[in-house]
Amino acid sequence: MCNKNIKAVTMVRNDRFLEKWVEYYGARLGKDNLYVFFDGEDQVPPAFCEGVHTEVVPKMQGNVVSTERQRSRFISEKAAGLFKEGADMVIATDADEFLVVDPDMGMELAEFLSRLPDKPCHSGLGVDVLQDLATEGPIDFSRPFLEQRHRGWLYSRYTKPSVITRPLTWGAGCHRVKGKNFHIAEGLFLFHFGGVDLEHLRQISADASRVAQGWTRHQLKRSRAIARISRIKARKWEPLVKAMRWMQTICRPVFAINKPTTYGLKFVARIPDRFSNKV
């Protein structure tokens, strides 16, 4: 079976995770299938983006909520253009989000996605990887993250329809696709590393441009999540993943029936060692 023509898209501004994003998706899809949009004409594409399609665009204006909406519309329009050029699938994630196939599936990302049924969009089960303050030190960005972090919050916020198979419109933050249901693919996970390191969050909070857009509250929320999740006992991966996939498929918030929810309940699992060298 031939793999489908799969593109991956992200939009960044001063994002330290971008190099790992390019390395990860480039190894699985080919760097010529990656599209990176730089938010702000003061941005300069770094050397590691050689071979990647890059474009510097005028900076999105407004607070964190309005810019997230602008970004999602922008990415949706770019994805539509890629379909016109022959893409079969388009992946859209933030630079700190990585779609990972369970190693037990025996497939890498392109083959796995190519075998999925023909649905408008596909989601990985969301795993928010957070630092365990009691046992884990600062992150080393040069090493695989999952060698250094071992706890994942199975958080519905990151069960995102990151893969689309036709032109669609993502909602703010790409947390939903407008007018379409979501479909959690068994064996596929979206690992989110925005809270992987408390010190990194502190550095972001000192970024004047982010402060001006209202990111301070968001970063404080992430810091509190690290402290809170560090106090929750991690459960076994397999049974919790199975239960969370079922729960997030069935349960919806009343204000957004095409998004998953766990109704505020927090479920933390120990990430198996088989994932340690994936990201």
- 79-105 pLDDT, tens digit per residue, is 999 999 999 999 999 999 999 999 999
Over residues 56-78, mean pLDDT: 85
Beta bridge partners of 170: 177
- DSSP letter string over 191-234? EE-TTS-HHHHHHHHT-HHHHHTTHHHHHHHHHHHHHHHTTSPP
Percentage of the chain modeled with pLDDT above 70: 92
- 115-143 pLDDT, tens digit per residue, is 999 999 999 999 999 988 888 899 999 99
Q: Are the C-beta atoms of residues 101 and 112 closer than 8 Å to each other? A: yes
Domain limits, the chain:
6-275
Question: How many helices (H) and strands (E) are present in the chain, helices listed first?
Answer: 8, 10
- 231-244 pLDDT, tens digit per residue, is 888 999 999 999 99
Asked if pLDDT for residue 211 goes beyond 60, the answer is: no
Looking at residue 203, what is its pLDDT? 67
Whole-prediction pTM: 0.91
Over residues 29-37, mean pLDDT: 97
Nearest to 213 by CA among 37, 61, 40: 61
Q: Which DSSP letter does residue 95 get?
A: T
Looking at residue 64, what is its pLDDT? 67
Single-letter amino acid, residue 239: P
Q: What token pair was written down for 261?
A: 């929810």
Asked if pLDDT for residue 254 goes beyond 80, the answer is: no
The mean of the pLDDT values for the chain is 89
